[in-house]
Amino acid sequence: MSIDITQFHQIFFEESFEGLDSMEAALLELGGGSEDAELINTIFRGAHSIKGGSGTFGFTEVARFTHVLETLLDQMRSGQREATRASVNLLLESVDALREMLTATRDHSAIDAPRIADLIARLEAMLGHEPTQATQTKSAPAAARTQGWRIRFRPHADILRTGNDPVRILRELAGLSNTGDMRVQVDLSAVPGWDSLDAEACHLGWDIDLHGNVARAAIDEVFAWVVDEADLHIAPLENAVADVAVEADTAVTGELVVERRRSEDRRQGEDRRSAAPAGDASSIRVGINKIDALINMVGELVITQSMLGQIGDSLVQDGTQAQIEKLRDGLAALERNTRELQESVMRIRMLPISFAFNRFPRLVHDLGGKLNKQIELRMSGENTELDKTVMEKISDPLVHLVRNALDHGIETPDVRIAAGKPPVGTLHLNAYHQGGNIVIEIGDDGAGLDKQKILRKAVERGVVSAAEATGLSDDKIGDLIFLPGFSTADVVSDVSGRGVGMDVVRRNIQALGGSVEVRSQAGQGSSFIIRLPLTLAILDGQLVRVGEQIYIIPLVSIIESLQARKELINSVAGMAEVYRLRDDYLPVIRLYRLFNIQADTEDLTQGLLVVVEGDGQKAGVFVDELLAQQQVVIKSLESNYRRIDGVSGATILGDGSVALIMDIPGLIRLTNTPPQAVRKTA
Amino acid sequence: MTQAMTTTERVSSELQRGGDVASNQFLTFSLANEEYGVDILRVQEIKGWTPVTHIPNAPAYLKGVLNLRGTIVPIVDLRMRFNLDAIDYTPTTVVIVLSLLNEGRERTFGIVVDAVSDVLNIAPTDIRPKPDFGTVVDADFINGLATVGEHMVMLLDIDCLLRPDEINAIASVGE
């Protein structure tokens, strides 16, 4: 039987990328002056498992590179070398290189060989230097040394199925000893008869006497991956009687259990998986408490349902008022449970925002160095949860805002000192929930927005007239920076300020149904506040009818609905219509005309005006009738068709028909386009 | 009508036996007395016509979208796409749900045709290249012609027929 090893590639890559992330985080902490020995162990473990995995799968370049890396890390771990700034930076670079190599390997594209060779050379150059003896021993476990060890190794039957090879472990053990003196005795007592022999199970055990000066930590390292899949006793040779149990160094949390189950599930579902193209599949880790809540909920739902079924049956025979009452109660319970179930399911897709925040320590570290600025990054609310899809889409805008804050916001130390501020600037990332939204704040204590400069630029670009400029409020001035092609940076740097700027940020955020605003105070700093919906999967909608068509207007966009009064309707230049609502003039959007369909009435006073707001602009949408309000599940039109102007998606109504969801900002933009297009379709 | 339904049923049962179908099989359907064929492996299902939801400012031949077990599927009227006379939809009017490949993505589309005819085995050697229609007929979406008995069957290149940029281009002209 041949095993297609490529089915495990996906898992390997996922785990390697996660390993690289934690290596990076630990390196940054190490660079920050922390002297925790566990940090180096974390980094070492990351490199070690990537080396092992890439060796197994035959990714020789990756394995060779990680080997050099591992050697350097090993010296640090054993205290022979101190973690200097130079070595941490080199290691960070190596992490980047590894990430690229893995990406290239996964996508079957070419590896940047010269760069890797250069890095290997630099790593080896560092290794070649006589390692400086560390002032203190950074790794405590390395201290325990004896003249040899007796190891009792009894793998569980399924150890081979988890991809571990005992023979490889034995070989590695033999390599540890400086004298190479190792005696192994095999224990055959567990081997069953021929008829019950399972060729894929491991029935053997080993007793190993390892002689020589070997660190206990080194042995633990060899067995690190199998401690959960084997009975293991390690004792010094001198007193082999006393059994010292190996303790697993990772705390086994519920989270980990799920993780392991997940990978088992994957192996079982290998047929389905192999059909999917590599690199496309995505998975999320889920806390076990969330799954439990979900399962409980479903259990209750099933009970409620069977209860309803029984009541329904008896009702057919003799329906009394009391029974009907019961049925109503049951239905109410069903509805409540269903809603909670839906929320629980939605929560499965939610991840803490730390997934997006985690890249910033590195970014700030690198950029701070490049810009010669001293920056302290503070993060709060990292556990605030939001939908995975929203998270993926908000990452890039966040990076952009952070880069901007570092480049334009926070000043260089000398400027800061001159302004009477501490030389170290602070960048604060904060996230919290507010209503059905998540709010992300990116604040700095830098120079703040230069209002005069922005105004000058705005006038220069013809965005506002000089007369208008004088009357603008601070809020409005802040808003100007979100206009296309607006960059106030004096020098276009490679950090930010390439002209593709805040307008893209704002557009991306708006595409997610969110908003962004800036608050700034000269000399005190500025902060960007992003509001996003928690999920893209559902929204509260108002169903409206135009002729035979039913459309959905997101409830968040609706301000009010009203019946138009004739005397308040005005037309502008004979084409556009406006409706006077208190002190505002609202442009009227006649949906039937815009969408070219038949409406019940074209008389504004006969239908309803739904007052909506999008992009800070208000408008009145003219519809025939308001129907129910309900929560709708958003379906994509683009997966089979394409984007439609003024429509953000579609949903399926209770009767199975499809209704389009209005994109209010898009609708307002559509109305603002030259009127010819509208006229022609009318 | 009954006869047409049985044809549909027969074709559907042929589809379900799909496993042993060689790729030389084509589903044929009629459209204004002409016979067309599509590669049977692209056919997901055949269903009766049901009302669709109008898509604003789409080309006229895009009738709208339909809920197909939770997926939103656009429906194209093939008569209108080929500039043939439109007819009223009758109980024999069927929607053939096809999966196509565009820009590396699989999309699901439905086409409205007059009636489903048959499942035919057409050997590659029996397929003739399309003649040069000049500019009279837009023949980009015809892969070839096959003669079956007395009939000529036009084999459609559905990927080309329902390209999104094609639809976009026509949509913008329509505006």
Percentage of the residues of chain A whose pLDDT score is greater than 70: 80
- Flag if A640 and B175 touch (Cβ within 8 Å): no
Task: State the best of B52, B62, B67, B102 to mutate against chain A, taking most chain A CBs within 10 Å.
Answer: B67
Contacts with B175 from chain A: Cβ below 8 Å = 677, 680-681
**Separation of alpha carbons A167 and A184, rounded Å:** 11
Nearest CA in chain B to A651: B72
Nearest to A440, CA basis, from A381, A393, A525: A381
pLDDT above 80 (res A153)? yes
For A156-192, letters b (16+ CB in 10 Å) and e give eeebbebbbebeebbeebeebbeeeebeeeeeeeeee
**Mean pLDDT, to the nearest integer, of A378-401?**
86
Q: What is the pLDDT of residue A610?
A: 94
- Flag if A660 and B55 touch (Cβ within 8 Å): yes
Q: What is the pLDDT of residue A502?
A: 80
Q: Which tokens belong to A479? A: 């808003």
Contacts of A135 (CB under 8 A, 6+ apart): A82
B144 vs A495, which has greater pLDDT? B144
**Separation of alpha carbons A280 and B36, rounded Å:** 36
CA distance A656 to chain B (A): 7
The answer to whether the CB of A382 falls within 8 A of the CB of A353 is yes
Q: What is the pLDDT of residue A226?
A: 78
Contacts with B109 from chain A: Cβ below 8 Å = 640
pLDDT above 80 (res A568)? yes
- Flag if B65 and A641 touch (Cβ within 8 Å): yes
Task: State the best of A549, A640, A678 to mutate against chain B, taking most chain B CBs within 10 Å.
Answer: A640
Q: What is the pLDDT of residue A303?
A: 67
Dump pLDDT digits (tens) for A74-111.
888 777 777 777 788 888 888 888 888 888 888 888 88
pLDDT above 90 (res A556)? no
**Separation of alpha carbons A603 and A391, rounded Å:** 45
Dump pLDDT digits (tens) for A264-321.
444 444 443 333 333 444 667 677 777 777 777 776 676 676 667 777 777 766 667 7
Nearest CA in chain B to A644: B56
Q: What is the CA radius of gyration of chain B?
A: 16
Report strand pairing: A385-387 vs A375-380: unpaired
The answer to whether the CB of A671 falls within 8 A of the CB of A662 is no
CA distance A590 to chain B (A): 13
Q: What is the pLDDT of residue B137?
A: 57
**Separation of alpha carbons A590 and A620, rounded Å:** 8
Dump pLDDT digits (tens) for A465-521.
777 777 777 777 877 888 776 655 544 444 444 445 787 888 888 778 788 888 888
**Mean pLDDT, to the nearest integer, of B49-71?**
86
**Separation of alpha carbons A551 and A621, rounded Å:** 12
Q: What is the pLDDT of residue B174?
A: 38
Residue B77: give its domain's CATH number: 2.40.50.180
The torsion defined by the Cα of B95, B100, B106 and B111, in degrees rounded to 10, comes to -20
**Mean pLDDT, to the nearest integer, of A221-227?**
77
Strand extents, DSSP E, A105-240: 145-155, 182-187, 205-215, 230-236
CA distance A633 to chain B (A): 10
pLDDT above 50 (res A456)? yes
CB atoms within 10 A of CB A195: 5
Q: Which of B51, B52, B56 sits opposite A644 (nearest CB)?
A: B56
Q: Which residues of A are catalytic?
A: 48, 70, 404
**Mean pLDDT, to the nearest integer, of A546-572?**
88
**Separation of alpha carbons A439 and B88, rounded Å:** 53
B82 vs A267, which has greater pLDDT? B82
A145 vs A403, which has greater pLDDT? A403
List residues of chain A with CB under 8 Å from any CB of chain B: 549, 594-597, 635-637, 639-642, 644-647, 650, 652, 656-660, 677, 680-681
Nearest CA in chain A to B60: A596
3-state secondary structure chain B: CHHHHHHHHHHHHHHHCHHHCCCCEEEEEEECCEEEEEEHHHEEEEEECCCCECCCCCCCCEEEEEEECCEEEEEEEHHHHCCCCCCCCCCCCEEEEEEEEECCEEEEEEEEECEEEEEEECCHHHEECCCCCCCCCCCCCEEEEEEECCEEEEEECHHHHCCHHHHHHHHHHHC
- What's the pLDDT band for A677 if we cut at 50, 70, 90? very low
**Separation of alpha carbons A481 and A476, rounded Å:** 9
Write the Ramachandran bin of B8: left for phi over 0, alpha for psi from -120 to 50, otherwise beta.
alpha
Q: What is the pLDDT of residue A661?
A: 92
Q: Which amino acid is at A313?
A: D
Nearest to A22, CA basis, from A77, A76, A99, A83: A99
A8 vs B72, which has greater pLDDT? B72
Nearest CA in chain B to A675: B175
Burial class (CB within 10 angstroms; exposed 0-12, middle 13-18, buried 19+) of A372: exposed
Nearest CA in chain A to B171: A644
The answer to whether the CB of A552 falls within 8 A of the CB of A661 is yes
CA distance A58 to chain B (A): 29
The H or E element that residue A652 is part of is strand A647-652
Contacts with B75 from chain A: Cβ below 8 Å = none
CA distance B48 to chain A (A): 15
Task: State the best of A623, A641, A670, A673 to mutate against chain B, taking most chain B CBs within 10 Å.
Answer: A641
Token pair 């093939």: residue: B78
**Separation of alpha carbons B72 and B62, rounded Å:** 14
CA distance A663 to chain B (A): 13
**Mean pLDDT, to the nearest integer, of A208-237?**
77
The H or E element that residue A440 is part of is strand A437-444
Half-sphere exposure of residue A52: CA atoms within 13 angstroms, side-chain side: 19
Contacts with B52 from chain A: Cβ below 8 Å = 658
Contacts with A658 from chain B: Cβ below 8 Å = 52-53, 64-67, 72
Phi, psi of A179 (to 5 degrees): -90, -10
Average pLDDT, chain A: 76
Cα distances from B25 to residues A644, B119, B123, in angstroms, run 36, 7, 8
Q: Which of A637, A652, A681 sits opposite B57 (nearest CB)?
A: A681
List residues of chain B with CB under 8 Å from any CB of chain A: 51-58, 64-67, 70-74, 107-109, 164, 167-168, 175
Q: Which amino acid is at A138?
A: K
Nearest CA in chain A to B56: A595
Phi, psi of B62 (to 5 degrees): -85, 100
- Flag if B67 and A657 touch (Cβ within 8 Å): yes
Dump pLDDT digits (tens) for B102-135.
767 788 899 999 889 889 888 888 888 877 766 5
Contacts with A654 from chain B: Cβ below 8 Å = none
| Maximum average pLDDT range among A63-72, B25-34, B96-105, B149-158 | B25-34
Q: What is the pLDDT of residue A622?
A: 92
Nearest to A334, CA basis, from A309, A356, A351, A353: A309
Q: Which amino acid is at A346?
A: M
- Flag if A658 and B51 touch (Cβ within 8 Å): no
In total, chain B counts a number of residues equal to 175
Q: Which of B54, B72, B74 sits opposite A597 (nearest CB)?
A: B54
Dump pLDDT digits (tens) for A330-342.
777 887 777 777 7
- Flag if A658 and B67 touch (Cβ within 8 Å): yes
Q: What is the pLDDT of residue A498?
A: 44
**Mean pLDDT, to the nearest integer, of A377-382?**
90
**Mean pLDDT, to the nearest integer, of A250-274?**
41
Dump pLDDT digits (tens) for B14-40.
555 544 444 688 999 988 888 899 999
Contacts of A423 (CB under 8 A, 6+ apart): A374, A413, A416, A417
Owning domain of residue B89: 2-174
Contacts of A443 (CB under 8 A, 6+ apart): A405, A427, A428, A430, A525, A526, A527, A528
Q: What is the pLDDT of residue B13?
A: 60
Number of domains in chain B: 1
Contacts of B3 (CB under 8 A, 6+ apart): none
Nearest CA in chain B to A637: B72
- Flag if A658 and B164 touch (Cβ within 8 Å): no
Phi, psi of A37 (to 5 degrees): -65, -30
Dump pLDDT digits (tens) for A2-11.
566 676 777 7
- Flag if A595 and B56 touch (Cβ within 8 Å): yes
CA distance B66 to chain A (A): 6
Nearest to A104, CA basis, from A115, A112, A92, A93: A112
